[in-house]
Amino acid sequence: MNKARTIGSGSIRALGWFVIVFALMLSGPLLTLAFGSASMHGDWRTATHRPTGLAPDPRTYPDAVVQVYASRTFGWRGAFAVHTWIAAKPAHADRYTRYEVIGWHARGGGSGLAISDDEAPDAEWYGRAPRLIGDARGASAEAAIAKLAKVAADYRYTTYRAWPGPNSNTFIAYIGRAIPELHLAMPALAIGKDYLPIGQWVSPTPSGTGYQLSVGGVVGVTAARDEGLELNLFGLVAGIDFRHPALKLPGIGRIPGGALG
């Protein structure tokens, strides 16, 4: 009887700690909403998609470029997550090609994969300016571009789920793993980056500098040189970056070092 009580009280304490940790992680997105870093208002039909000047002008910059961007998602979801995409320009090309997965493109079924040179590589994402999270130039960019089209075409997911994935961030994390020349460390706010195929629990990180354990993108842990140490709980990620010292908090991002890290 006493043993049963001990096991029962231990389970209750463990559940209590779990609830406390989850509540603390959820406080970041709530603070983000409260202080206006994400908005409950706005109309996606009138939101802007203006270039932001982060991409070199192909008319004056002849070298190859590959850049990866992250911007908070539209509306209340921006308190939790960012949308990521990649833009590439071979040497002497006169425009960039954007590679991304877009949720509403998948409404009729399919992955939502979009590959286009119609939109500016560094455009606002529904009124929110992006942040540059990866930037390769010259020879390393050329090496990445040589693989990019095939890697994107081989993207395996035929469904889209905003949480816990596969989604736009799952795609960019997949690109990072497949193209080590990018040295890509995904932002902690990129919900879906930790999603792995069913039956796969362990994978190299997108940067290729460590490993992650993930159960469907819902629960997991990451340890890597570039990503640092991260804990994923229901898609909310908290962690420590040791290489570029910073805390990573759900909804907030890096402290210090910007709001998308």
Helices (H), the chain: 2-34, 138-153, 168-178
Indicate the SS3 state at residue 76. Answer: helix
- How much is the pLDDT for 1? 54
Q: Which tokens go with 227?
A: 């990503």
Question: 223 pLDDT exceeds 90?
Answer: yes
Mean pLDDT for the chain overall = 90
pLDDT tier, 25 (very low <50, low <70, confident <90, very high otherwise): confident
R_g over Cα of the chain? 19
Nearby residues of 261 by Cβ (< 8 Å), 6 or more positions away: 187, 188, 189, 241, 246, 248, 253, 254
- How much is the pLDDT for 217? 95
Greater model confidence, 227 or 76: 227
pTM for this model (two decimals): 0.90
Query: What average pLDDT does range 88-115 have in this prediction?
Result: 91
Query: Could you read off the pLDDT of 33-69 as tens digits, one per residue?
Result: 887 677 777 788 889 999 999 999 999 999 999 999 9
- Angle formed by the axes of helices 138-153 and 168-178, to 10°? 120
DSSP 8-state secondary structure symbol assigned to residue 57: P
- How much is the pLDDT for 2? 55
| 89 within 8 A of 97, measured Cβ to Cβ | yes
Query: Could you read off the pLDDT of 242-256 as tens digits, one per residue?
Result: 999 999 999 999 998
